[in-house]
Structure 1
Amino acid sequence: MYLITVFGNLLIILTVSSDSHLHTPMYFFLSNLSFVDICFVSTTIPKMLWNIQTQSKVITYEGCITQIYFFLLSAVLDIFLLTVMAYDRFVAICHPLHYTIIMNPRICGLLVLVSWIMFVSLFFSTSLGVYFSSAATQSSHSSATASVMYIVVTPMLNPFIYSLRNKDIKGALKRLFVMNLCAHQNLMKSYLYQKYNPA
């Protein structure tokens, strides 16, 4: 599930960045969401997998605080990016003639920057309190199950929910695969030509 999450979101980022048709606010926010989802799962899952492999539950205090910080940063950034994406769709639907003026590149960059600034500043301390209080009250098995569902499943499904059902993304993925396939075939032809037709 971790690998599917990382590769699925990387594929979305690569597709959006490589296709000029997708250089619009909506896909800019989608690629940012994909990046944050990668950060979100990479904050906790590798350490969890290592602990399962080594049968150890040990983590240093500094490692724990760092993990909590980046986990909360990614989680809150995810929420704010989804809010920004909702605003983007609101503008596109309710003000279609002014969409390109309202959602210009400067505003899009500013909205993403504000999203980053707002785990750090608003939610970090409260989320930390909730994390510590819930750890003391819930059973470890139910907490672990809920954590896996929240931490892994949602980011894994985001590329499918927000991107792969979209016809523009599907078209861009097809173009990306065809372009890579053609490049690979040309390399093979060049290699075979040089091998059997030496200068």
Structure 2
Amino acid sequence: MAKLIYSAIASLDGYVEDAGGAFEWAAPDEEVHAFVNDLERGIGTYLYGRRMYETMRYWETEGAGPDAGPVSSDYARIWRAAEKIVYSRTLASVPTARTRLEREFDVGAVQQLKETSPTDLTIGGAELAGQAIAAGLVDEIQLLLNPILVGGGKAALPQDVRMRLELVDERRFAGGVVFLRYAVTG
């Protein structure tokens, strides 16, 4: 069975965006971006909420041009090769290739996708991931913690959810970012 992985870039105080909705502080440097590429290389399907999809669809047309560096070009290829499912009640359509639109997050359908997928899946967007975490669908949580405190905003992890995690990997980067990978154990 495939794993469902929640991966997020967050501030040290646990936010994916600040109170004003900004997240420019989360842009990875080349070392971190190359590491993320390696993490995502085996992902077959991305599950996105609307806002995360609108951010990530940048990679549909960017990252592969003559001005793009090798790390960005690599990520663009990885992103374009994967299937994408976007959960939104407001989008009329999704203009990117290999992408389908779903109006509701269906726990049973995601569980079936995990059971039938030959590759792991990721879920992006803190709100959508929070639903999946609360439903017990997420098998692994990967956090890239940035050396910044933003003081509030959108939390990376849901409130009112209690679960045990086991640290299975960690890495420290030159710029102060720390990667933590946890398996959900109960």
Which structure has greater strand proportion?
2
TM-score scaled by length of structure 2: 0.26
TM-score scaled by length of structure 1: 0.25
